[in-house]
């Protein structure tokens, strides 16, 4: 791993789970970890419920935009965390890969998305501890 690790969060639409994870990692790790997020089939905008529940936790992801997953994004990353995108993510030797089994927040109510958000936060906090130990 490089001196400052890079983490890539990937989900299908890059509009909910991966954006929430990236928002938490950026807010909680600051400049200790580089943060990327992408999707195998990105939407044109973020899930508004995801934006709202993140704001409740003091994290503003409203300015983020869904991005297409590229081979370069995977190549730049030390850790690649997938969330329901299956085999869409290219595999490179020497990378750490994890798949976080998380419900998709698309079409869900605020309470459900809050539970997903809280699960993501715990996972991101653990990841930060592992990468900065």
Q: Which residues are catalytic?
A: 11, 85, 89
Q: Where would I find the H helices in the chain?
A: 17-29, 48-56, 71-76, 110-132
Q: Which single residue is written with the structure tokens 């020497």? A: 94
Measured CA to CA, the distance from residue 27 to residue 74 in angstroms comes to 22
Q: Using CA atoms, how far apart are residues 26 and 42, in angstroms rounded to an integer? A: 20
Q: Which residue has the tokens 């990692």?
A: 25
**Paired residues of 83 in beta bridges:** 11
Edge-first strand listing for the sheet containing 96-99: 34-39, 6-11, 79-83, 96-99
């Amino acid at each position: 791993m490089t001196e400052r690790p890079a983490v890539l969060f990937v989900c299908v639409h890059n509009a909910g789970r991966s954006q929430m994870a990236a928002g938490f990692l950026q807010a909680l790790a600051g400049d200790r970890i580089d943060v990327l997020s992408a999707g195998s089939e990105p939407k044109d905008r973020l899930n508004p419920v995801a934006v709202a529940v993140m704001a409740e936790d003091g994290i503003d992801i409203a300015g983020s935009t869904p991005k297409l997953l590229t081979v370069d994004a995977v190549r730049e990353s030390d850790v690649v965390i997938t969330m329901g995108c299956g085999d869409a993510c290219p595999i490179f030797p020497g990378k750490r890969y994890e798949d976080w089994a998380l419900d998709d927040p698309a079409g869900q109510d605020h309470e459900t998305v809050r539970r997903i958000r809280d699960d993501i936060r715990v996972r991101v906090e653990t990841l930060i501890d592992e990468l900065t130990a």
